[in-house]
């Protein structure tokens, strides 16, 4: 018999634990008799999750490492499945980690347990055939972005947009004046934030061309300040090596990328989550990406969408200019950044505000509302 007050949940990495913690907190607030079992980190444990395994054992990345750890991962999944079948939850929630969770969800759903998945895999961008497995695995997909929900509904999968937790996170940021004061930047003149990526390979390919762009911009505008936030001490050393710029209006800092974007007037960055953060903060963007030739040849054939920057993917049209591989030249990026300081940047800011409104906030509340609705209705 399904235990009405038992909820199963599995998160495989820190980002999933953050999302899961927010959802479990909201569920506990509404019903303090709920019991949670599965796998999670500190935040999910703080809100009552009894972990069956250490979440760190699921945190594997790359192509080779998961294969080396495959026997252990399969054993963990079998253990979680057995636990959920022995003490069936009213609902099982898989949080991200699709390679681990979707198979587990499919097994549990086949035994009559309601399943939901939080954070859509990028099935809309590559390997679209995965939608068939997802359709068999989940009763409900909780999407962070509206276009993801539309994609699933079009393919016959029940889905709802629950908003993006970044919106609440960014609402606590200071205003531009305060951010500049904290970072020691002048209040006059323009500020460009340059972010050549958080991975070593990204910096290796993008930082040299970004350095050329910055030198041209500093020579063009005598009041321009440039800030380069590094994701870690290792990335800071790498950026300093690939961007050996000695100038009193150029600084590299460790961390504080969001604060730097708030302080900025424009952002030049690698494609990635940074593009969504800049959009939600309301700063105009120039997006670039370069990678090794062979990797580009393979990836460009796998991707099924015309854009890489999330603001453009969400809008379905190019709002922020994208310069990929051979198009990511110093001249192209220089002219694009200059444009963002004028009318083109104002247009981006207007569209970004509209897109942010379409996503909406209250992520945890909307997630639990959707899960409660699933629990209160029989599977169709």
pLDDT at residue 50, rounded to an integer: 95
Same fold, 3-163+362-375 and 170-359: yes
C-alpha–C-alpha distance, residues 278 and 144, integer Å: 16
User: So where are the chain's domains?
Assistant: 3-163+362-375, 170-359
The torsion angle over the Cα atoms of residues 281, 287, 293 and 299, rounded to 10 degrees, is: 60
CATH topology of domain 170-359: Rossmann fold (3.40.50)
The pLDDT tens digits along the chain (380 residues) read 345 589 999 998 888 999 999 999 999 999 989 999 999 999 999 999 999 998 888 765 444 455 666 788 889 999 999 999 999 999 999 998 888 899 999 999 999 999 999 998 877 655 667 888 999 999 999 999 998 999 899 999 999 999 999 898 898 899 999 999 999 999 999 999 999 988 888 888 899 999 999 999 999 999 999 999 998 898 899 999 998 888 989 999 998 999 999 999 999 999 888 999 999 999 999 999 887 767 656 666 666 667 888 999 999 999 999 998 889 999 999 999 999 999 999 999 999 999 999 998 899 999 999 999 999 875 44
Helix axes 343-359, 330-340, angle to 10 degrees: 80
pLDDT at 380: 45
Q: Residue 329: left (phi > 0), alpha (psi -120 to 50), or beta?
A: beta
In the CATH scheme, what is the homologous superfamily, with its name and number, of domain 3-163+362-375? Glycogen Phosphorylase B; (3.40.50.2000)
DSSP state of 315: H
Query: Where does residue 32 rank: exposed (0-12), middle (13-18), buried (19+ CB within 10 A)?
Result: exposed
327-362: b (≥16 Cβ within 10 Å) or e: ebebebbbebbbbbbeebbeebeebbeebbeebebe
């Amino acid at each position: 018999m399904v235990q009405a007050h038992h909820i199963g949940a599995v998160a495989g990495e820190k980002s999933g634990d953050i999302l899961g913690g927010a959802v479990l907190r909201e569920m506990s607030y509404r019903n303090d008799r709920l019991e949670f079992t599965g796998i999670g980190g500190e935040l999910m444990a703080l809100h009552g999750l009894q972990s069956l395994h250490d979440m760190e054992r699921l945190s594997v990345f790359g192509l080779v490492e998961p294969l080396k750890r495959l026997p252990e991962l399969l054993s963990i999944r079998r253990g979680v499945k057995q636990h959920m079948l022995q003490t069936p939850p009213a609902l099982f929630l898989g949080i991200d980690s699709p390679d681990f969770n979707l198979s587990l969800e499919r097994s549990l759903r086949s035994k009559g347990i309601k399943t939901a998945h939080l954070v859509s895999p990028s099935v809309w961008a590559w390997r679209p055939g995965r939608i068939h497995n997802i359709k068999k695995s989940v009763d409900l997909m909780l999407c962070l972005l509206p276009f993801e929900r539309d994609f699933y509904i079009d393919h016959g999968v029940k889905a709802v947009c629950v908003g993006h937790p970044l919106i609440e996170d960014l609402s606590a940021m200071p205003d531009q004046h305060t951010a500049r004061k904290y970072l020691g930047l002048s209040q006059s003149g323009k500020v460009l934030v340059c972010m050549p990526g958080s991975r070593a390979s990204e910096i290796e390919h993008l930082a040299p061309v970004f350095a050329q762009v910055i030198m041209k911009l500093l020579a063009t505008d005598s009041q321009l300040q440039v800030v380069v936030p590094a994701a870690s001490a290792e990335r800071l050393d790498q950026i300093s090596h690939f961007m050996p710029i000695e100038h009193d209006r150029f600084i590299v800092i460790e961390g504080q990328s969001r604060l730097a974007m708030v302080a900025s007037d424009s952002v030049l960055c690698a494609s990635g989550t940074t593009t969504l953060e800049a959009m939600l903060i309301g700063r105009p963007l120039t997006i670039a990406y370069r990678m090794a030739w062979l990797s580009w040849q393979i990836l460009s054939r796998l991707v099924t969408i015309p854009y890489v920057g999330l603001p453009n993917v969400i809008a379905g049209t190019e709002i922020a200019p994208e310069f990929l591989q051979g198009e990511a030249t110093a001249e192209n990026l220089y002219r694009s950044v200059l444009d963002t300081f004028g009318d083109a940047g104002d247009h981006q800011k207007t569209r970004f505000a509209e897109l942010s409104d379409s996503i909406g906030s209250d992520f945890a509340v909307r997630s639990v509302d959707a899960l409660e609705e699933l629990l209160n209705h029989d599977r169709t």
